[in-house]
Amino acid sequence: MKFFRDTGRVDMMIKLALLFFVGVCTVAILFSLFGRDSTASKSAGSPPVTGPAPAGQGAVPRSGGRQEQAITVQALTLSPQSIVNTIRLNGDVSSRSEISVFPDTAGRLVRYEVSVGSTVGKNDILAWIDPSRPGAAYSQSPVRSPIAGTVISIPLAAGNTVTTGTAVATVGVLDDLHIITHVPEKYISIVRPGLPAGISLIPYPGEIFDARIVQVSPVVNASTRTVEIRLEVRDPAKKMRPGMFAVITLVTREERGVMVIPKTALRSYNNLPVVYVLDSDGRARRREVSSGLSSDTHVQLLDGVAFGETIILSASVSDGTLVRLAEDKK
C-alpha cells in the first residue's frame, strides 16, 4: 500500500512540473509577440532627438531658402569690328586672251597637229583642211594660230566637214585669266568697276582668291534679266585653270569700327529685336536694339548697347536670369 501511495505522489509532482513548464513557455511566447510591438510604438511616439546632424549628411534646406541655380552661357564683349555686305554668285574661269580659230577655206578636216594643252606660237599650224572637190586638184590648207598661247580645246575630229565659220580650235593665254559671271538686274546700282570680291574654287577648299570687277556690261540681257561682269583675279601661284567653276562673293558695302554680333545672339521680344546683356550682378538684362548691315553670319548693332558690354550668345535666358560665363565654369 505504501508503495502505491509513494508512486501517486511522484506522478503528481511530475504533472505539476509539466504544467509549470508549459506556463513558462506560454508567457515567453506571448511576450515575444506583443512586447516587441509595444516597444516599437513607444519608440515611434517619442520626441525626436535634437542636436547637430552627423558628419557627411547634407543640411535640410530652410523653408523658402532654396538656392537659385545659375545658367552657364557663352558671351561676347563688344569691341570695334568690321562687317561687309555681300552677294554670292557663280561663274566660270576663262582666258582673257581666248580666241577661236577658224579655217581660211571650207573642206574636210584632215588632221590636227596639236592636242589640248599644247603650247603654240603665233602662226604655228594647228590643223590641215582638204578643200578639194571631185575633179579638182588635191591640196591641203593649213589652219594657223593667230596668237601665242595654249590650246584650250579642239572640238572636232578628223574627217569632219568644216566651213569658214566652224571653230577648229581655241587658243588662250593661261597667264591672263579672268572670271565671267552674270548679276541680277536689281544689283545694277551696286556693281561697278573696282568693287572687291572673293573667289572660292572647288579644288582649293578654304582658300579665298582676291578679285575685283574690271568690266560691267552696259546692256541687260532681256531673257535672263542679268548683267554680265568680268573680274580680275590675283593668282600668283597659278592655281586657276580655264573652265573651273568659281563661287564669287561680291563685297557691296563695308563698315569698320562698329559693334558686330553673331546673328544667333539677336532675338525677338514682342516683335522687336533684342539682345541680352550681362549686368554687374551676373544677371541677363534684355535690351532693345537696332540692327544695320548684315552678312551671312553676323549683324551690326546701331544702338541699345555700347562697346565694352558683354552680350550673351547662347543658352535660353530671360530678363533677370542668373548666369555665369562658360569660361568661368570649373
Domain ranges of the chain: 1-39, 71-84+256-328, 87-95+175-254, 99-172
Average pLDDT in the 192-211 region? 92
* Residue of 131, 78, 80, 122 whose CA lies nearest to 99: 122
In the β-sheet with 99-101, what is the strand arrangement from edge to edge? 99-101, 169-172, 149-153, 119-120
Query: What residues are paired with 285 via a beta bridge?
Result: 277
How confident is the model at residue 64, as a pLDDT?
53
DSSP summary character for residue 322: B
87-95+175-254: CATH architecture = Beta Barrel (2.40)
For residue 76, how many other CB atoms are within 10 A of its CB?
Answer: 15
Residue 286 grid coordinates = 534684355
CA 64 to each of CA 58, 60, 61, 153: distance values in angstroms, whole numbers, following the listed order:
17, 12, 8, 83
297-to-47, 229, 250, 278, 310 alpha-carbon distances in Å: 67, 26, 16, 22, 19
| Per-residue DSSP letter, 2 | H
pLDDT at 60 over 60: no
What is the structure's pLDDT at 5?
53
Q: Do domains 71-84+256-328 and 87-95+175-254 have the same CATH topology?
A: no
Give me the numbers of helices (H) and strands (E) for the chain, helices first please.
1, 23
Q: For residue 229, how many other CB atoms are within 10 A of its CB?
A: 25
Average pLDDT in the 219-244 region? 90
Is the overall model pTM greater than 0.75, yes or no? no
**pLDDT for residue 140 is more than 70:** yes
pLDDT at 274: 95
CB 144 within 8 A of CB 126: yes
* CATH number attached to the domain at 99-172: 2.40.50.100
**pLDDT exceeds cutoff 70 at 153:** yes
Q: Across residues 40-54, what is the average pLDDT?
A: 43
**Residue 266: what residue type?**
L
53-62, 114-123, 210-219, range with the lowest pLDDT: 53-62
Average pLDDT, the chain: 83
Grid cell at residue 289? 536694339
Measured CA to CA, the distance from residue 238 to residue 210 in angstroms comes to: 13
Which ranges of the chain does DSSP label H, i.e. alpha helix? 2-45
Q: What are 139's three cell numbers?
A: 591640196
Question: 71-84+256-328 in CATH: which number?
Answer: 2.40.420.20
Cα separation of 177 and 93, whole Å? 7
**DSSP conformation letters of 165-185:** TS--EEEE-TTSEEEEEEEEG
6-32 per-position pLDDT tens digit = 556 667 777 777 777 777 777 777 767
CA 233 – CA 196 distance, rounded (Å):
10
Low-confidence winner among 9-23, 47-61, 148-162, 255-269 (lowest mean pLDDT):
47-61
Q: Is 164 exposed, middle or buried (0-12, 13-18, 19+ CB in 10 A)?
A: exposed
pLDDT computed for residue 51 by the predictor: 38
Question: Which of the given ranges, 227-231, 232-236, 237-241, has the highest pLDDT on average?
Answer: 227-231
Angstrom CA distances, 166 to 101, 110, 169, 182, stand at 8, 14, 9, 27
- The whole-angstrom separation of Cα 272 and Cα 33 is 76
Q: Is 292 helix (H, G, I), strand (E, B) or coil?
A: strand
CA distance 176 to 203: 20
> Which whole number is the average pLDDT over 217-222?
92
